[in-house]
């Protein structure tokens, strides 16, 4: 193939010529949906030697039909008076009609020949459905989508059933080791400028309002934030270094973490219906145990 440097040129739609033979069939309805959703994203291509198309016959058919119907041009197709200007790859010049025809077949067949990774395809489509992303314009008809959905396993309900059962009682928080304050810490405790970490299992006592956060240390010199009570979510501060499973955090962050851990562990894209079942499982765990601690730790095993 003799070819100069290729370029994209906006070309009048009415001047484009079809190849004498093009055995490729097209789903014109799907092409319409794609153009309506994403606009014109794939330029046509012509053989400079003959001026005939070697890529883009289906897109040409849809554009001409839309123009006849009086529809507005898709995004990235320009309108000038009564003419539509379409992006076309220029600079391709094939050595013969046979070589141009062979390229036309290759341009269509090479995208078909690879096939699909069926499992990954089903996972991707299920993920799009779970996020309420429309599947219009993808080129799959409903029967293909149904077949992909039925071939994909396991369902979320099966994964939830495989999880460890919830404990009857939340595990008790481990006791922090008792520490003996140093002489310096005991002296500092008598002044209003510092505070000492309380003994085993106890939560830090509220600091005086005159204390700055930078003034509060534990006996090992580590920063300990002052205790707070907030209506926004956390019931109380946990002891330094201790994860308290009874600490309620009634916001969406633990729920989202559970979803991410579970779906990531089992590689499960979900439909809205399956997602609702999983949300119900999370809610049931919370109702029984008052905390998502056990749920989270079972995911991390």
Q: What are phi and psi of 139, to 5 degrees?
A: 95, 0
Let me know: does 218 contact 188? Beta carbons within 8 Å.
Answer: no
For residue range 77-90, what is the model confidence (pLDDT) as tens digits?
A: 999 999 999 999 99
What is the model's pLDDT at position 165?
60
> How does residue 236 score in pLDDT terms, banded at 50, 70 and 90?
very low
For residue range 188-219, what is the model confidence (pLDDT) as tens digits?
A: 444 454 444 444 444 444 443 344 444 444 44
Six token digits for residue 216: 């509060």
Per-residue pLDDT averaged across 106-118, rounded? Answer: 92
Let me know: does 216 contact 207? Beta carbons within 8 Å.
Answer: yes
Per-residue pLDDT averaged across 155-163, rounded? Answer: 53
What is the model's pLDDT at position 178?
54
**Is the dihedral angle over the CA atoms 266, 268, 274, 279 positive or is it negative?**
positive
Question: Is the model's pLDDT at 53 over the cut of 50?
Answer: yes
For residue range 91-105, what is the model confidence (pLDDT) as tens digits?
A: 999 999 999 999 999
What is the model's pLDDT at position 26?
96
Q: Assign 82 to helix, strand or coil.
A: coil
Q: Assign 289 to helix, strand or coil.
A: helix
Higher pLDDT, 294 or 186: 294
Per-residue pLDDT averaged across 266-279, rounded? Answer: 66
Q: What are phi and psi of 190, to 5 degrees?
A: -85, -5
Which residue in 57, 56, 51, 50 sits closest to 96, CA to CA?
Answer: 50
d(CA 195, CA 218): 8
What is the model's pLDDT at position 97?
97
> How does residue 56 score in pLDDT terms, banded at 50, 70 and 90?
very high
- 242-280 as b/e, with b when 16 or more CB fall inside 10 Å? eebbbbeeeeeebbeebbeebbeeeebbbbeebeeebee
| DSSP assigned state of 216 | B
What is the model's pLDDT at position 273?
72
What is the model's pLDDT at position 223?
47
């Amino acid at each position: 193939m003799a070819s100069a440097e290729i370029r994209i040129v906006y070309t009048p739609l009415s001047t484009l010529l079809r190849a004498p033979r093009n055995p490729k069939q097209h789903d014109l309805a799907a092409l319409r949906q794609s153009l309506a959703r994403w606009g014109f994203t794939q330029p046509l291509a012509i053989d400079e030697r003959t001026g005939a198309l070697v890529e883009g016959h289906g897109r040409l058919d849809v554009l001409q039909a839309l123009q006849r119907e009086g529809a507005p041009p898709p995004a990235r197709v320009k309108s000038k008076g009564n003419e539509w200007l379409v992006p076309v790859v220029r600079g391709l010049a094939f050595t013969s009609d046979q070589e141009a025809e062979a390229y036309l077949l290759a341009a269509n067949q090479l995208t078909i020949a690879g096939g699909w990774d069926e499992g990954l395809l089903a996972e991707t489509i299920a993920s799009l459905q779970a996020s309420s992303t429309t599947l219009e314009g993808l080129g799959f008809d409903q029967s293909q989508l149904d077949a992909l959905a039925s071939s994909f396993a396991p369902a979320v309900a099966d994964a939830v059933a495989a999880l460890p059962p919830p404990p009857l009682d939340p595990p008790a928080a481990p006791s922090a080791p008792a520490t003996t304050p140093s002489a310096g810490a005991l002296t500092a405790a008598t002044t209003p400028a510092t505070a000492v970490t309380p003994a085993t299992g106890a939560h830090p006592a509220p600091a005086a309002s005159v204390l700055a956060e930078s003034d509060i240390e534990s006996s090992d010199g580590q920063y300990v934030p002052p205790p707070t009570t907030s209506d926004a979510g956390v019931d109380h501060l946990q002891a330094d270094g201790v994860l308290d499973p009874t600490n309620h955090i009634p916001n969406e962050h633990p729920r989202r973490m559970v979803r991410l851990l579970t779906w990531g562990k089992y590689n499960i894209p979900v439909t809205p219906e399956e997602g609702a079942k999983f949300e119900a499982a999370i809610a049931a765990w919370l109702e029984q145990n008052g905390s998502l601690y056990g749920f989270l730790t079972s995911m991390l095993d």
